[in-house]
Amino acid sequence: MAKALLPLRSSCSPLFSFCSPPPAAPSLRIPSFALLPPLLHVRHHHPEVLVHHCFLPLRSFPRLPLHRRAHGTRGSSDAVKNEKVLSIGFLGLGIMGTAMARNLIKSGHDVMVWNRTANKCEVLVSEGAKLGSSPEQVAGSCDITFAMLADPTAAKEVAWGKGGAVFGLGPEKGYVDVSTVDEETSKAISERVKSSGALYLEAPVSGSKKPAEEGKLIFLTAGDKLLYERVCPLLNVMGKSRFYLGEVGNGATMKLIVNMLMGSMMASLSEGLVLGSKVGLDPRTIIEVISEGAISAPMFSLKGPTMLKGDYEPAFPLKHQQKDLHLALALAEKVAQSTPVAAAANELYKLAKSTGLGDKDFSAVIEAVKS
Ligand SMILES: NC(=O)C1=CN([C@@H]2O[C@H](COP(=O)(O)OP(=O)(O)OC[C@H]3O[C@@H](n4cnc5c(N)ncnc54)[C@H](OP(=O)(O)O)[C@@H]3O)[C@@H](O)[C@H]2O)C=CC1
Ligand SMILES: O=CC(=O)O
């Protein structure tokens, strides 16, 4: 849908001067609140108000809850709205990174990619991405660098290992880690990034392969508010909603809580299906009954049928679900909170992983229940 765009006086730091508005658009009426100083805009906590340095759709003022917004527009026009198109780095082209970087490319952004296993870059390079030679080179060449990596070890390695991103970062740049990691890892990355003079945002995502492909992820962000404001248009390309949660660590812990629940739910569904089948019920009927009632969940309806077929094509690899349960249990341990359900679920995922199912979809945990 075409939007009327409102160019505002820019108060950008040199960092994001690419957001400065075009010389004039005299025919557009500027609402008085649009001329207030940027900080007043920020006070509204409305994402589209926060991107005051870019272009605001005239019809965009508060309709949705102030801390979140579902996005109905994205696509090729997004990048073109900025006077200077952002250069974006993307580190880590696994299941999620590939889909997310592809959406940025499709939206018209200038994207440079890097992956430890270099040949995974080929497909995106054929679609228009530039190839980076190291995280350092990518971060050094781009305005904003995203990292989507397997786990805390990988996130740290890419951030400050040999040829790590922080060595290419500096003032006027931003680093956004979208991997699922623990609070300590994110804080350690934040420290290194910020000591380079760059800004840092943690932004783990909820939503799996398909939402990533469709640009419907949910971003759980925390860290430098300024960077959050600046990357909102990019998050809008890759996601359907976003939360800004304050200090670094809050996004990471939110993600772990969500995935702790998800892991337990999947283990529970697995037990129900296996037990039901054993006592003579049709598991397809179990899934249907569940879908009608209070415990219905999109995940059950989506994964149940594929689990019955033994189809575990990975969307969310089981090894990552087990990693998330492990990190959530460590979080609980830190605050002496008992989490017996998650602990039991974790044992099932560990068992499944030990039988070689780590790279399968996490729904393969049902095989551990059967064994
Ligand atoms: N899949 C999903 O549904 C979702 C996943 N997540 C989270 O997103 C992250 C990525 O997930 P996903 O894309 O599925 O995972 P994949 O396993 O598909 O990809 C992992 C990525 O991390 C890289 N990597 C692993 N170890 C290292 C290392 N030591 N140094 C450098 N790079 C490394 C891999 O590189 P290489 O190709 O060389 O192995 C690959 O690019 C994880 O934290 C996961 O928990 C979050 C939401 C949903
Ligand atoms: O982290 C996995 C997800 O589906 O979200």
- Identify the DSSP state of 317: B
Q: Which residue out of 106, 173, 240, 255 is catalytically annotated?
A: 255
Q: What is the pLDDT of residue 237?
A: 97
| Catalytic residue list contains 278 | no
DSSP 63-123: -S-TT-------STHHHHTSSSPPEEEEE--SHHHHHHHHHHHHTT-EEEEE-SSGGGGHH
CA 159 to mean position of chain CA atoms:
17
Q: Which ligand minimizes its atom distance to the CA of 95?
A: 1
Residue 19 neighbours by CB distance under 10 Å:
23
For the chain, the residue count is: 371
Q: What is the ipTM of this complex?
A: 0.99
Q: Which ligand minimizes its atom distance to the CA of 324?
A: 1
∠362-268-349 over CA atoms, to 5°?
A: 40
* CA nearest ligand 2 atom 1, residue: 206
Q: What is the pLDDT of residue 86?
A: 80
Q: What is the pLDDT of residue 218?
A: 98
CB 365 within 8 A of CB 348: yes
CB 303 within 8 A of CB 266: yes
Nearest ligand 1 atom to alpha carbon 117? 38
Instruction: Copy the structure tokens of residue 221.
Output: 């962000």
- Report how far ligand 2's centroid is from the alpha carbon of 322 (Å): 12
Nearest ligand 1 atom to alpha carbon 151? 43
CA 23 to mean position of chain CA atoms:
35
Q: What is the pLDDT of residue 344?
A: 98
Q: Where are the beta strands (DSSP E) in 94-249?
A: 110-114, 130-131, 144-147, 174-177, 199-202, 205-206, 217-223, 239-244
Measured from the CB, is residue 92 less than 6 Å from ligand 1? yes
- Report how far ligand 2's centroid is from the alpha carbon of 176 (Å): 18
Instruction: Copy the structure tokens of residue 367.
Output: 């095989």
Report mean pLDDT in 10-residue bins for the chain, 371 residues.
Answer: 29 32 32 29 31 29 35 40 75 98 96 98 98 98 98 98 98 98 98 98 98 98 98 97 98 98 98 98 98 97 98 98 98 98 98 98 98 92
Q: What is the pLDDT of residue 84?
A: 64
Residues within a 6 A CB radius of ligand 2: 180, 206-208, 259, 316
Which residues neighbour 244 within 8 Å (Cβ) at sequence distance 6 or greater?
45, 67, 221, 222, 225, 228
User: Please, which residues bridge with residue 218 across strands?
Assistant: 206, 241
Q: What is the pTM of this model?
A: 0.83
Measured from the CB, is residue 94 less than 6 Å from ligand 1? yes
Query: Cα(339)–Cα(332) distance, rounded to whole angstroms?
Result: 7
Q: Which ligand minimizes its atom distance to the CA of 323?
A: 1
- Report how far ligand 2's centroid is from the alpha carbon of 258 (Å): 8
| Positive/negative CA dihedral, 341, 342, 343, 345 | positive
CB 170 within 8 A of CB 197: yes
Q: Report which secondary-structure segment, H or E, holds 254.
A: helix 250-278
Residue 230 neighbours by CB distance under 10 Å:
27
